[in-house]
Amino acid sequence: MEPDKTAVADRLTPDASRLNESLRISEIFFSLQGETSRSGLPTVFIRLTGCPLRCGYCDTAYAFTGGQTQTFAQIFSAVAQYAPRYVTVTGGEPLVQKQCPVLLRELCERGYSVSLETSGAIDVSAVDVRVSKILDIKTPASGEVEKNLWGNLAHITPHDEIKFVICSEADYAWAKEQLATRKLAALCPVLFSPSYHDLPAAQLAEWILRDRLPVRFQTQLHKQLWGERPGV
């Protein structure tokens, strides 16, 4: 189906009051969403630079530093060239940059279906309610379990998602306990994902089925297609 050219043109005209605001950008690229309930959907990814965490399984350490400062006008133009329906803002940890919530709101105003991938270590209360927040709760094997900001659960809505990256059987047992004691499945969909290098996907799937957990199993589709590299 041909994109709506009028809609695309509108998206190329950002709010003048935000035109010169800027963020540090690691990369902007068009790919298939590899995770969450949007897996498989063509999506533009805006990867912001910077992260205060150092998770043991991190696959985007290249986004900790570097990147280029881009104005909102440049960001909107880069996104609009793909005429996308879906836009994901990710990192690093995107919320470490104070203008990130503004960018999220402006993307929603331009008609995109927007999701945010966040570590769960930074307050999400300022994120526009139209944004689908993907909250990554850190497991013990991540090395950053103490950074979980549990107060963020008060800001979760049914169209958000909670994700656990599982590295081991101990991680699985811990995540299962959080699922039950915090009644996470009543808040929003919950995702269990095997750490790419640490846990066979089939093993995690078997544990989920054995225990009849109310979660969605997922693997990282983009890595199955293209391996581990930037821009996918």
- pLDDT, residue 10, reads 43
Would you say residue 40 has pLDDT above 50?
Answer: yes
Instruction: Kindly state whether residue 182 falls inside one of the protein's structural domains.
Output: yes
Would you say residue 7 has pLDDT above 70?
Answer: no
Instruction: Kindly state whether residue 231 falls inside one of the protein's structural domains.
Output: no
Instruction: Kindly state whether residue 45 falls inside one of the protein's structural domains.
Output: yes
Instruction: Kindly state whether residue 82 falls inside one of the protein's structural domains.
Output: yes
First to last CA, the chain: 23
Amino acid at 208: I
Name the strand (E) or helix (H) holding 71: strand 68-71
pLDDT tens column, 139-148: 999 999 999 9
CATH number at residue 12: 3.20.20.70
Residues whose CB falls within 8 Å of the CB of residue 145, separated by 6 or more in sequence, listed in order: 138, 139
Residue 21: CA count within 13 A, CB half-sphere: 16
pLDDT tens column, 167-212: 999 999 999 999 999 999 999 999 999 998 889 999 999 999 999 9
Instruction: Kindly state whether residue 74 falls inside one of the protein's structural domains.
Output: yes
**Torsion region of 180: left, alpha or beta (phi above 0 gives left; psi -120 to 50 gives alpha):** alpha
The pTM of the full predicted model, rounded to 2 decimals, is 0.89
Instruction: Kindly state whether residue 27 falls inside one of the protein's structural domains.
Output: yes
Least confident range from 6-10, 18-22, 33-37, 170-174: namely: 6-10
pLDDT tens column, 68-106: 999 999 999 999 999 999 999 999 999 999 999 999 999
Q: Which domain holds residue 138?
A: 5-226
Instruction: Kindly state whether residue 138 falls inside one of the protein's structural domains.
Output: yes
Cβ-count burial 129-153 (b if 16+ within 10 Å, e if not): eebbbbbbbbbebbbbeebbeeebb
Instruction: Kindly state whether residue 200 falls inside one of the protein's structural domains.
Output: yes
| CB atoms near residue 221 (< 10 Å) | 16
Domain count, the chain: 1
Would you say residue 12 has pLDDT above 70?
Answer: no
- pLDDT, residue 2, reads 38
